[in-house]
Chains A and B, each alone.
Chain A
Amino acid sequence: AQSVTQPDIHITVSEGASLELRCNYSYGATPYLFWYVQSPGQGLQLLLKYFSGDTLVQGIKGFEAEFKRSQSSFNLRKPSVHWSDAAEYFCAVGRYSGGGADGLTFGKGTHLIIQP
């Protein structure tokens, strides 16, 4: 069975500083990886996804993530955070069988706090 580990429950970063959120996965085949952001009262919003190809993926809001198969990691990065980036971030792995969309397995999330 697949699993996702986000080792950091909380991360505090100063506004304007760089950010890296860690994500490690366990999956028996080629993973389909996602990063979502959840703000209070809002649905989960997709930041970026990786299915194949270039291992450095660009997403919305200035985020990027790098897939490293050798480390089973898919860390999320942003060069300079803004106060509006404060939210809960979830890494997820997609389970696809026979070409059909399937449910996602999520990590426990990382709560990002931005200091002024």
Chain B
Amino acid sequence: GAVVSQHPSRVICKSGTSVKIECRSLDFQATTMFWYRQFPKQSLMLMATSNEGSKATYEQGVEKDKFLINHASLTLSTLTVTSAHPEDSSFYICSAAPGTQIDNEQFFGPGTRLTVL
């Protein structure tokens, strides 16, 4: 149980285009979903937190107009990278938490590799 999927697993796009990444909790309802970014050989950096039905909370330094997050249902959150540029190339990972209890575990998706040409 507690499986999180991401789609696509890899995407290559041209500079200036927008890319949408989906994150789905397959067997549980996710009250909260998180988006992380991981550069090669680096740690995961939290980008934003999204709660179903409300606006996402972005971490300092993350451009909310560039990284649009929508958490329209309890099983789906999307991250749209708008007007992508080569510096946006990275590994994007989502996680989902079933509730808001203090000891709530997050379940991670397998990640999406974005390459912007």
A residues whose Cβ falls under 8 Å from a Cβ of B: 32, 36, 41-46, 49, 51, 90, 96, 99-109
Chain B residues packing against A (C-beta within 8 Å): 4, 31-32, 34, 36, 42-46, 49, 59, 93, 95, 97, 99-111
Residues of B within 8 A of A109 (CB): 42-43
**Contact status B43-A44, CB under 8 Å:** no
**What distance in Å separates the Cβ of B38 from its nearest Cβ neighbour in chain A?**
9
Which of B43, B93, B95, B106 has a CB less than 8 Å from the CB of A108?
B43
Per the bound structure, the CA–CA distance linking A10 and B7 in Å amounts to 31
Please, could you name 7 A-B residue pairs with CB atoms under 8 Å apart, sorted by A? A43-B109, A46-B105, A90-B43, A101-B99, A101-B100, A101-B104, A109-B42
Collect the chain B residues with CB atoms within 8 Å of residue A44's CB. Answer: 44, 93, 95, 108
